[in-house]
Structure 1
Amino acid sequence: MERKKQTIIITSIVIAIFLMAALNSEVFSARLDITENKVFTIQGGSIRVMRSLKEPVRITYFLAQKLKNVSTVFRQIEDVLSEYAAKSNGMVTLTIVDPVADEKAAQTAEKYGIPSWKENQSEGRDAEKSFTAYSGLLLEYQDKVAPIPRVLAIEDLEYNLTMRIQAFVENKTRKIGLLLGSQKHDPSVIQQMIEQTGFEVANLLPGQEIPQEVDSVFVLGGAEWTEADLFYIDQYIMRGGKAFFAVEGVQILEGEGQIFALPVENSAILKMLETYGAKISSEMVMEAANPPIALYIDEVGFYNYWFQTFGDFASKNNPLTTNFQGMIFFWPSPIDLVAPDGVKAESLVATSPYAVRIKNQSTLDPQTTSQMYAVNSESKAQATLIATLSGELPSFFKDKPAPVPAEIIARSNPQARIMVSGNSEFINFQRLQGVAQQMPQYMQSLQYNINFFMTSLIWLTNSPDIISIKTRANRDTSLGKIQEDGPRDAAKNFAIYFNLVVIPLAVIIAGVVRYLLRKKKARTE
């Protein structure tokens, strides 16, 4: 009997060793991904792009091996890269080099703009001592190269790889046209952010023809533009171009500690957007301080014209707002959807049901906002902040002569796709940076603004496959998305109670039970 038991044990050990070796081998590469958003699972869109390659893409990961002792994220990056190559059917090869130990690799990293930095040791005798660190990628295909200078997270890794490989396959980099009508935005900062997403930027001017190679146009401001300034934008859309309009319905004037509001009237661009199906109102939106949706400013209190919005108030049917994390808005104007026949208008991001619309309010000082909200609180209702329009958009110049010399006017576009926001402040990087410094508790939400901006450009210029890769890692796990005071406090108390009481108590009980069972067994023997 004892010999039979030993045989079973030895056989089980041999089988276990065989299975572990198989799981570690190149032949049997199946993996179990139990992360919430399957961040280690390569999506079908990426696989289709990789398998459309004519030749293999060579990926080199420049990694200082010491970084693995600092954070587990660098091992995770290796895992995602290995899985990416494994799913490519041989069309992607992966090489990992350490430029700290390999002088040739360091020279290559420097040549392609992959930087080093000083990182502190986190443990051991050398804690607090710094070392040279690298974590960057170089993609090579035929005679083309595409560096990703710094890789510090896995969330956007698959997207960044697939975007660059898609550019290899199409033999072009997608291009975003930038049209600025507002002096408050720094074009160099916006251009840098767009380029980090894998696009090229074409700086455009109103009243000039938009090059055919521009994949989509981002318009900031423009309330002062004439119909002649807008003609080529309209015709670009009518001929199949995509666009994002972020235009104010109310002009904000700041100076000497005061804030003034000036409604925008007789604006050609607002009339054009209304023709398409999105009417930006000359009102502004205020949000509630209870529940705390409005932003809290130290020594001032809640400022109702600055507020957050959450995933609960975003479209559940659009891939752009899949796993929407929320955003922060500054003095936005609401959008009324007035879509003509053949146009589908969708409210993409909205306020909470506690929002109120304010008209003809000239001063916006923080000291008066709570009183203004209280006066108008009986008219609380949800309002659209960002909308999409798709389908057969009519030209703004459909029934009027062209304001510039033009031989042919495109009268409509049956496959149009545009986005409209009643405010451009949500992507004013100087504003975002200032608020982050003044109110660090909102820093993560401000990052969501940038994420949404980037994702919007991807949605306008790419296939659903690409946008699904980009939005997969986006998720809001904060308790802030629970708006009602009661449920939010209950959730917080449950989390604290469960982690500080239930789990330790369960461990103690398990230990006591194990001790009693062992004691009973000892008595029996």
Structure 2
Amino acid sequence: MTKSRLAQCPIKLMKNKFVITLLIISGIVLLNIAASFIFFRLDLTEEKRYSLSDATQSLLENLSTKDSTDVFVKVYLDGDELPGGFERLKRAVTETLEEFKVYGGTNVNYKFINPNAEGDTKKREEFYVELAKKGMNPTRVVDTKNGRQIENIIFPYALVSAGGREVPVLLLKGTQGKTAEEKLNQSYENVEYELATAIRKLTLKERKKIGLLAEFTKLKPLNFSDVIASLQERYDLFIIDAKNSPTFQGLDALILPKPDFPVDDSTKYKIDQFVMSGGRALFFIDGLKVDSVGLEGNFAQPLELNMTDLLFKYGIRINSNIIKDGASCAMIPLVIGDLGDKPNIQPVPYRYFPLINNFGKSLITNNLDLIFGRYVASIDTVRADGINKIPLLMTSPYTKVLNAPAFVTFNDARAETDQAEYQGGIKTIAYLLEGKFQSLYKNRLLPNDPKFADFKSESLPTKIIVCSDGDLIVNEVSQKTGNPLPLGYDKTTQHTFGNKDFVMNAIDYLIDENGVIRARGKEIKLRPLDKLRSRDERTYWQILNLGLPVVVVFIFGFILQLWRKRTYIAD
């Protein structure tokens, strides 16, 4: 190669570099200009963990500062020494709120607050009390750091405020019986739903109408106070006077809670035509009537409610029996002997109170805590063309079914569980039915009947839920204070089970199946390391992860050097 050509090579190379650099800068500028007009985000994770549901996006985009619906979220899950799992939960909350800001814009703001930041002990404790008054109680977590145990006081809560109101949101929600890692993972999955539900509750302008058909139960409104209060936060709730209401039209959903008296034919017809018009309904009906129960016992008798034929037509039969669950049941306090001169009272498993931890695949039951059941019956499905039957709540496989009349006694709790007696298999106690239902009164009305003109023999596409435990929707009342206890609260363990979440999720799904409830479908998979391989092959993987990138860089540099020599340096 001549000297003139060698001299031209650096000049030509500099020109090429200048052109390439200019093209790159121009491309970046054009990309930023385009990005200011075109909005898009890519979520490359398998579970789409960074993507919000369409309903949540719509909720946030419709927020309006003019209507005082700007949202502010205070997150109290913060601190310098959060355990690893809580740090991951905090990161999930941060990422979710960042996504909320993308769609909500200036109408959504948030702030993390460390409840333990105050150095003065007295002021810090006063702050704890202030949070507790708002319904945010601390969680004490013992963690190991630098060989010593540290107790952390953590508030896994967020406080969502809008329009002069505020709602506390529990961020740590998991199923009993799961490992700590699984509970935290369930909490990550629920972050979007919990925060979006709180925002919807505070900013909702059009409220759905729910009817409570309570005149057929002997229980007082106080026994439904928790679910009534929860429903009134989100919906317009009406206590229905069935006899004086010509129809139930105008309602979005109807609830029949634990009936003790037969439903009259007129009301049954109104329920049927409400469903035929596309109305949504929830039935909480017992299979047997259980009155007083003592150590000596009592017989549970069949419960005639005049609803069997209606539910049968819809594809469901509630059996006249009681299920005993030998594997998963609640505890009751019982005298098991004497302790000196005093009775020895201990909690013992009571198999008539199953704890439901077997759920069907549905948004209603996803990441739900255990359900506290009392004297539940089994449900069978029967043929109903066009109806999709989805099981929601199921017992463990170790069951025993007692048919009516069933002898029920508290003394049963003292007996040991004999596995040979509990071979009944899994029993379903709640079903979701979807489709076009056939009216019970089809081909029964004559043309001259006054009802015939408005009669509907087949429903619009709709949904109903049938549960064979009337007590699932009933809260107990404190004997000391006379105040209602939370729905699902167990006085023996002082744990609140997931009964209210089930009821509220069911209502949300029935009347707004494409709404925020869709956020409950998010699933984040746990991908734990293989403990045995990570222990036995630790050195191999360390060398591979640390050495391989270095080797790749050296190989790339060597190939680049060869290419430069062949391209720009003469032989």
> Structure 1 length as normaliser, TM-score?
0.66
Task: Evaluate the alpha carbon distance shift between residue 161 and residue 120 of structure 1 in structure 2; reply closer, same or farther with a 3 A threshold.
Answer: closer
Figure out how many residues of one structure are paired with residues of the other and give that number: 430
Partner Cα separation in structure 1 for residue 311 and residue 264 of structure 2: 14
Give the alignment partner of residue 306 of structure 1, picking from 353, 369, 384: 353
SS in 2 for 1:149: strand
| Contact kept in structure 2, 1:70 and 1:121, CA below 8 Å | no
The alignment status of 1:322 with 2:332, answered yes or no, reads no
Task: State the one-letter code of the partner of 2:313.
Answer: T
Give the alignment partner of residue 218 of structure 1, picking from 252, 255, 268: 255
| Corresponding residue number in structure 2 for 1:172 | 206
The alignment status of 1:457 with 2:507, answered yes or no, reads yes
| Corresponding residue number in structure 2 for 1:467 | 517
Aligned counterparts, 1:275-354, within 5 A? 275-288=313-326, 292-298=327-333, 299=346, 301-311=348-358, 314-316=359-361, 318-354=362-398
Deviations 1:24-46 (A, max 9, x none): xx999979999x98776533331
Task: Evaluate the alpha carbon distance shift between residue 45 and residue 64 of structure 1 in structure 2; reply closer, same or farther with a 3 A threshold.
Answer: closer
Task: State the one-letter code of the partner of 1:427.
Answer: I
Deviations 1:484-523 (A, max 9, x none): xxxxxxxxxx99xx89xx99xx99xx9xxxxxxxxxxxxx
The alignment status of 1:408 with 2:442, answered yes or no, reads no
Task: State the one-letter code of the partner of 1:83.
Answer: E
- State the identity as a percent: 17
SS in 1 for 2:353: strand
| Corresponding residue number in structure 1 for 2:468 | 422
Give the alignment partner of residue 272 of structure 2, picking from 234, 259, 268: 234
| Corresponding residue number in structure 2 for 1:202 | 238
| Contact kept in structure 1, 2:434 and 2:462, CA below 8 Å | yes
SS in 2 for 1:357: strand
The alignment status of 1:137 with 2:160, answered yes or no, reads yes
Task: State the one-letter code of the partner of 1:206.
Answer: A
Task: Evaluate the alpha carbon distance shift between residue 414 and residue 223 of structure 1 in structure 2; reply closer, same or farther with a 3 A threshold.
Answer: farther
Give the alignment partner of residue 59 of structure 1, picking from 61, 70, 87: 70
Task: State the one-letter code of the partner of 2:218.
Answer: Q
Shift of 1:321: 3.2
Partner Cα separation in structure 1 for residue 58 and residue 75 of structure 2: 31
Task: State the one-letter code of the partner of 1:417.
Answer: K
SS in 2 for 1:420: strand
Question: Please, which moves more after superposition, 300-309 or 232-241?
Answer: 300-309
Aligned counterparts, 1:235-250, within 5 A? 235-250=273-288
Partner Cα separation in structure 2 for residue 32 and residue 396 of structure 1: 49
| Contact kept in structure 2, 1:59 and 1:137, CA below 8 Å | no
Partner Cα separation in structure 2 for residue 227 and residue 242 of structure 1: 20
Give the alignment partner of residue 119 of structure 2, picking from 124, 149, 152: 124
Task: Evaluate the alpha carbon distance shift between residue 453 and residue 206 of structure 1 in structure 2; reply closer, same or farther with a 3 A threshold.
Answer: same
| Contact kept in structure 2, 1:322 and 1:472, CA below 8 Å | no
Partner Cα separation in structure 1 for residue 387 and residue 518 of structure 2: 24
| Corresponding residue number in structure 2 for 1:42 | 52
| Contact kept in structure 1, 2:78 and 2:115, CA below 8 Å | no
Deviations 1:14-33 (A, max 9, x none): xxxxxxxxxxxx99997999
Task: State the one-letter code of the partner of 1:251.
Answer: K
Partner Cα separation in structure 1 for residue 490 and residue 304 of structure 2: 35
Partner Cα separation in structure 2 for residue 400 and residue 373 of structure 1: 50
Task: Evaluate the alpha carbon distance shift between residue 435 and residue 50 of structure 1 in structure 2; reply closer, same or farther with a 3 A threshold.
Answer: closer
Partner Cα separation in structure 2 for residue 65 and residue 285 of structure 1: 43
**Larger Rg, first or second structure (1 or 2):** 2
Partner Cα separation in structure 2 for residue 336 and residue 453 of structure 1: 21
| Corresponding residue number in structure 2 for 1:482 | none
Deviations 1:269-320 (A, max 9, x none): 23211121110011111111xxx32334353632111122224xx323x333
| Corresponding residue number in structure 2 for 1:83 | 99
Task: State the one-letter code of the partner of 2:72.
Answer: Y
| Contact kept in structure 1, 2:97 and 2:110, CA below 8 Å | no
Partner Cα separation in structure 2 for residue 136 and residue 346 of structure 1: 35
RMSD: 4.8
> Structure 2 length as normaliser, TM-score?
0.61
| Corresponding residue number in structure 1 for 2:228 | 191
The alignment status of 1:273 with 2:311, answered yes or no, reads yes
Task: State the one-letter code of the partner of 2:360.
Answer: S
Partner Cα separation in structure 1 for residue 524 and residue 218 of structure 2: 31
Give the alignment partner of residue 431 of structure 2, picking from 387, 407, 417: 387
| Contact kept in structure 2, 1:323 and 1:474, CA below 8 Å | no
Shift of 1:205: 2.7
| Corresponding residue number in structure 2 for 1:491 | none
Partner Cα separation in structure 2 for residue 149 and residue 300 of structure 1: 35
| Contact kept in structure 1, 2:321 and 2:406, CA below 8 Å | no
Partner Cα separation in structure 2 for residue 212 and residue 355 of structure 1: 41
- Which stretches in structure 1 are left out of the alignment for 5+ residues? 1-25, 101-118, 140-144, 478-493, 511-525
Shift of 1:55: 7.8
SS in 1 for 2:213: strand
